[in-house]
Structure formats: structure tokens, C-alpha cells
């Protein structure tokens, strides 16, 4: 995926590498690493995660739903995946809403607790169905929006939080092909879009 800044200019890449696919009951589970690199190819963050594909839904590890700009300080630390999953049903309808969710992810530094990262998603709903075309082809997508809050809390210092809004282009049967992150005042912060798929 290509990442863009608040001016819409390319500023790096977001690379998902799938390391393992397993089957448990009716679920397929793909383990992956999401790595963000700047335009020079320098790694800015690396987050492990899992995708789960069950009957009628795709589940995305909450760790990769956190805005990428907030993960850079932890690029050399151990991000614990599996704290929770964001559900994307395969059958979506404009106007459909989802329950509010909260996920807490633990960060370790040299094996010791460093901080907790909490992601809250509220007002998550399905918008219109659209078709978008990029380097990988044409995708039929539903636009999904939500309000987010990202909070860091190490238990000793006051917790800090960042409010944002997210707009995703979700292709049923595949996943997110485009995403935009906005400030709480609706100013574009960053975006990304898929450009290639390799096996």
C-alpha cells in the first residue's frame, strides 16, 4: 500500500507480509506483519497481527486499526497482537451500524511492560456502495466510517489521548483497499491505498 500525507502527497509504504495461514474449525487465520516505511525505505513501525475469516465475516486484528502515525514511537518494541478483532461482515447494507468497541493492546520493551494502547471505535456505520479503480483494478466497496480515540496509559504518567475520524473503502471478500484518517475537526491527516498484491 502507498501512504499519503495530509496534502495527498506520497510519503511511504505500508507493507503486509503474511507469514502463516492456519485453519481452526471453520476459521482461516492469517498471521502477518504490517510494516510502515518512509519514502527512503526506512522502517517507521512494525506491527504483528492476524486476520480471521469465519462464516460470514472477516475479523481484523485491532492492533492494525490504530492510526499508523501513533505507532512510530513503538517501532522497536513488542506489540502484543490478539487483544481483539474488528468485524467486517461479508454482507453489508448502507445504513447498517455496529456496536461500539474498545480494545487494549499491551506494548513490551525488552520483555517488560511499557504501556497500554487503547483503541475505542464509536458511531461505526456503513455508507454508500461505490466502485474505485487503482493500480490493482476496480473494486466494489462499501464506505465505512467511525469515530476513534487512541489512548496511551503506562500506569504511572497521566494518560494521553488522540481523537480522530476514519473513512474506509471495504471490498467484501477482500478487505480494506483505501482508508483516510481525519482529525476530530475533519482535517485530513493521512491516507493509504492498495497498489499491489503478490503471492
Please compute the mean of the pLDDT values over residues 153-172 and round it to a whole number.
Answer: 92
CATH class entry, domain 2-193? mainly beta
Q: For 108-142, write each residue's pLDDT tens digit.
A: 999 899 999 899 999 999 999 999 998 888 999 99
Cα–Cα distance measured from residue 35 to residue 160, given in angstroms and rounded to the nearest whole number: 24
pLDDT in tens, 49-101: 888 888 889 988 887 777 777 777 887 888 876 568 899 998 999 999 998 98
Burial class (CB in 10 A: 0-12, 13-18, 19+), 198: exposed
Higher pLDDT, 176 or 48: 176
Amino acid at each position: 500500500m502507498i501512504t499519503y500525507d495530509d496534502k495527498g502527497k506520497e510519503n511511504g509504504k505500508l507493507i503486509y507480509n503474511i507469514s502463516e495461514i492456519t485453519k481452526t474449525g471453520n476459521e482461516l487465520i492469517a498471521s502477518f506483519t504490517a510494516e510502515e516505511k518512509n519514502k527512503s525505505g526506512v522502517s517507521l513501525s512494525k506491527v504483528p497481527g492476524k486476520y480471521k475469516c469465519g462464516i460470514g465475516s472477516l475479523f481484523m486484528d485491532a492492533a492494525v486499526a490504530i492510526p499508523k502515525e501513533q505507532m512510530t514511537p513503538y517501532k522497536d518494541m513488542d506489540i502484543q497482537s490478539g487483544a481483539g478483532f474488528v468485524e467486517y461482515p461479508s454482507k453489508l447494507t448502507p445504513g447498517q451500524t455496529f456496536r461500539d468497541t474498545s480494545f487494549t493492546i499491551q506494548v513490551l520493551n525488552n520483555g517488560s511492560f511499557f504501556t497500554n494502547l487503547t483503541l475505542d471505535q464509536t458511531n461505526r456505520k456503513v455508507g454508500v456502495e461505490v466502485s474505485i479503480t487503482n493500480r490493482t483494478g476496480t473494486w466494489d466497496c462499501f464506505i465505512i466510517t467511525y469515530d476513534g480515540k487512541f489512548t496511551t496509559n503506562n500506569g504511572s504518567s497521566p494518560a494521553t489521548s488522540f481523537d480522530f475520524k476514519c473513512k474506509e473503502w471495504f471490498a467484501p471478500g477482500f478487505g480494506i483497499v483505501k482508508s483516510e484518517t481525519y482529525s476530530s475537526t475533519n482535517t485530513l491527516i493521512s491516507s493509504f491505498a492498495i497498489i499491489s498484491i503478490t503471492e
